[in-house]
Amino acid sequence: MIQKIIIVFCLLISVTAYSQYTLADIATEYQSYNDRQNELNKTQWPNMSQNHIRSKIAVYSRWVSALDKLEVSELGENDLINYDMLSFILQDELYRLNHNSHLLPLNSEGGFLINMMYSVRGVQLNSDEKRENYIAKLNNTKTYLSQQIKNLKAGQKSGLSRPKIVVRNCIKVLDDALSYNGGDFFLFKPLSDQEISHQDYSKEIILAFQKLRNYLYKDYMKNAPEQIGISEITDGKAYYEQRVRYYTTLDMTPQEVFDVGKSEVKRIKKEMQDIINGLEFQGDYNDFLEFLRTDPQFYVDTPDELLRHAAWLSKKAEEILPRYFNKLPSLPFTVSPVPDEIAPNYTTGRYSGGSMEQQRAGAFWVNTYNLPARPLYVLPALTLHEAVPGHHLQISLAKEILDSLPPFRSAYLSAYGEGWGLYAEYLGKEAGIYATPYQDFGRLTYEMWRACRLVVDPGMHYFGWSKEEAVAYMTENAALSEHEIETEINRYIGWPAQAVSYKIGELKIRELRTRAEEAIGENFEIREFHDLLLSNGSIPLRTLERIVTDYIDDRI
């Protein structure tokens, strides 16, 4: 009886202390927790055991409840942004934990397998401690892969499974990785041949990956659904609704996203038709798309040619920066090909962040795989999006700005980040970057591509579209190559709702700019406005809207 009284008393003390948490207390606990996890991750892969997942749920639940008890009206502007970000991050993490997203660790690009490849790429074991930590991590590989297999099995048993098309892509990623022998295997590249040959773990690791590959091919694939939509899994529709809210950072429904997409496709198609008419092309819209997909003038013969074009366009884009921004990042960027091991299933280009501390420039990755699928007329828009004034400028500047802020503020929200990337493409039109009607059509091609995403993503994941219907819709409206369309649709299948963030983010940023221009009038200053948009790093769109509203009120 006394023991029970003591337990109740301790719980009451805990609840009282917990109810008195400040925002700083929660942020400090959250950061300490992440620091411990990061320290562990130096010597092991992420812990995916069920016990660890349960402990995370308990910890995140406590933080979310504490945030709910805060008096938000008493917070200053910077703390309010901190609150918005921390609440957004923790609530989403808790939702995914409670809904067993860890039982779905695969996507069309490879899921956790690609994460493993990224994490060791460029690793330099230039100290005894780093070498010992890395070898310890290698020794943990078998356990990590076993945990993933166990979770995959548990997922299918409870009605949570990736579709066959995603599994096939992951098997190919494994096959490609396992085709490299000895030191060429991705985990062994940081080590010398002599270190590999003298360690027992190398054979065990290869066997563990082969075991995973065989499980996916023989067991998981057999029980994976043909249907591609996430709504097919247990509670899938509700899950997709939450993913839409998360990726748009707005209170939008799949139906609203779908309707916006249909409207944008109609608008953009008219602008594209106007360009076709201006070129006096002999044929209809579909004939023009076929012309763009097949005419040799729009393609290069070698990877180096494509990279040179991208590099020149990058310098051209840098020329406009002083006209639109007061503050620019100090970190430079380079142009590089997408790594060979991931290029076949990879998108047409992407930004890879750099670090002054790690002596690594940012990188505009250009996919040089399958050159007939890489038209030059879209390269200016891609460059503006991935390099400057898009991702490199925004992400690198955010790192400099956020040095004095809590580390969780460096989280990347794609509605803001990808919305900014699309807005950067739009700025290229205003700044005169698109030198020919074909390049401007390429800009619209990319805008149409992102608008089509608003239709095909909820189409597949919420409204029951087949892959064939999604491909047909993209083929009819977007001037992308067949390979690009196939790769993109596969990505959407494996990453529900992420693709809708791009266009929704761009539309919100353009809406806020128009609102500011109209309200402030002749005193509106574009460089000041852009600096404002970039001054807080990646934040929810509803937070950005509040900041811009306050800015307008201060200027009028």
Q: Is position 524 within any domain?
A: no
Residue 158 sits in the same domain as residue 193: yes
Q: Is position 546 within any domain?
A: no
Instruction: From 265, 216, 315, select the one nearest 459 (Cα to Cα).
Output: 265
pTM of the model: 0.89
Q: Is position 195 within any domain?
A: yes
Q: What is the pLDDT along the chain (556 residues), one digit of tens a residue?
A: 444 443 433 443 344 455 578 999 999 999 999 999 999 999 999 999 999 999 999 999 999 999 999 999 999 999 999 999 999 999 999 999 999 999 999 999 999 999 999 899 888 899 999 999 999 999 999 999 999 999 999 999 999 999 999 999 999 999 999 998 777 899 998 987 666 665 667 889 999 999 999 999 999 999 999 999 999 999 999 999 999 999 999 999 999 999 999 999 999 999 999 999 999 999 999 899 899 989 999 999 999 999 999 999 999 999 999 999 999 999 999 999 998 878 887 888 999 999 998 899 999 999 999 999 999 999 999 999 999 999 999 999 999 988 888 999 989 999 999 999 999 999 999 999 999 999 999 999 999 999 999 999 999 999 999 999 999 999 989 877 788 899 899 999 999 999 999 999 999 999 999 999 999 999 999 999 999 999 999 999 999 999 999 999 999 8
Place of tokens 């092991």: 44
Taking residue 149's Cβ as centre, other Cβ atoms within 10 Å add up to 17
Residue 336 sits in the same domain as residue 370: yes
Q: Number of structural domains, the chain?
A: 3
Residue 93 sits in the same domain as residue 158: no
Q: Is position 137 within any domain?
A: yes
Contact 547, 536 (CB under 8 A): yes
Range of the domain at 147: 112-226
Instruction: From 188, 102, 94, select the one nearest 148 (Cα to Cα).
Output: 102
**How far apart are the C-alpha atoms of 339 and 60, rounded to whole Å?**
36
Q: Is position 359 within any domain?
A: yes
Last residue of a domain, one of 166, 197, 226: 226
The string of DSSP codes covering 258-312 is HHHHHHHHHHHHHHHHHHHHHTT-SS-HHHHHHHHHH-GGG--SSHHHHHHHHHH
Residue 304 sits in the same domain as residue 397: yes
